[in-house]
Amino acid sequence: MPFNERRAQILDVATEFFAENGLAGQTRQLAEKCGISQRLLYRFFPTKEDLLKEVYNREILGAFKAVWFVELQDRSQPMAVRLDAFYRDYLQSTLTRKWLRLFLYASLAEANMAPDYIAAIVMQLLETVMREVAHERGVELPEDPALLREMAWTLHGAISHYAIRRHIYQSSLSLSEDQVVTMHVRVFLAGFEDMVEVCSGR
């Protein structure tokens, strides 16, 4: 098998493998899953650490779509539609079992694998959501960016936690993903003015 093809195959299998077995999964088992000898892995990746890093970069950091930021700010659509569309897609394409497990394993193992890059993206997301909803509602937002972000976490955290319940704890499966998204988005929008008022007045 040609170099690049094999390498891609290993990365694919490794992603699945480490997501399921944790970052401590053994290279011999991984090789077996790839249908190759353990030794061959080391032709493509100098160390296990390098393989893990590449899996992480490809799967975790590559999961955010720039188009989301554009679509979230498309004011020709009502915010309810934008948020609904975004979180459906986000839940389907990013908050998957594979992504979540890798992300959690990495976060638990290394104190600062997740934060840096992710934090920046998510922060921007949170601020965008707040800005857009506030604009649509003609609401004045408080200054404190930390408070602002915490407000957006009301929605983002609820949906993220739903994904964790679903994929890590394996519960909360009786409603469909779309139903849950719609509910959380509606609840967030319905309580938005109250939330801003409550948070501003302290």
Partner DNA sequence: TTATTTATTCGTCAACTGACGACAAACGAA
Partner DNA sequence: TTCGTTTGTCGTCAGTTGACGAATAAATAA
Q: Which residues bind a second copy (CB under 8 A)?
A: 22, 24, 101, 104-105, 107-109, 111-112, 114-115, 118-119, 146-147, 149-151, 153-154, 157-158, 160-162, 164-165, 168-172, 174-175, 180, 183-184, 186-188, 190-191, 194-195, 197-199
Structure tokens at 195: 């939330």
- Reported as half-sphere exposure (CB side, CA atoms, 13 A), residue 80 has a value of 9
Q: Which of 137, 145, 155, 147 is nearest to 202 (CA)?
A: 147
Taking CB under 7 A as the binding criterion, the range among 23-31, 94-102, 122-130, 138-146 that sits at the site for DNA is 23-31
- Can you tell me which of 12, 32, 33, 42 binds DNA, judged by CB under 7 A? 42
195 touches, from DNA, a second copy, none (C-beta below 5 to 8 Å by class) = a second copy
Q: Binding to DNA (CB under 7 A): which residues in 46-105?
A: 46-49
Number of residues near DNA (by CB under 7 A): 21
Structure tokens at 100: 């979540």
Q: Which is nearer to DNA, 11 or 155 (CB)?
A: 11
The reply on whether position 27 binds DNA by CB under 7 A is: yes
Q: How far is the CB of 107 from DNA (least distance, A)?
A: 20
2 touches, from DNA, a second copy, none (C-beta below 5 to 8 Å by class) = DNA
The reply on whether position 20 binds DNA by CB under 7 A is: no
- Can you tell me which of 20, 28, 120, 198 binds DNA, judged by CB under 7 A? 28
Find the helix packing angle between 177-190 and 79-93, rounded to 10°.
Answer: 140
* Alpha helices (H) along 45-191: 48-59, 67-72, 79-93, 97-109, 115-137, 145-167, 177-190
Q: Which is nearer to a second copy, 36 or 166 (CB)?
A: 166
CA distances from 195 to 128, 150, 156, 190 (A): 17, 11, 15, 9
Q: Is 194 exposed, middle or buried (0-12, 13-18, 19+ CB in 10 A)?
A: exposed
Find the length of the chain. Answer: 202
- Can you tell me which of 8, 20, 43, 145 binds DNA, judged by CB under 7 A? 43
Structure tokens at 202: 């302290």
Residues found near DNA in the complex (CB under 7 A) = 1-3, 6, 24-29, 36-40, 42-43, 46-49
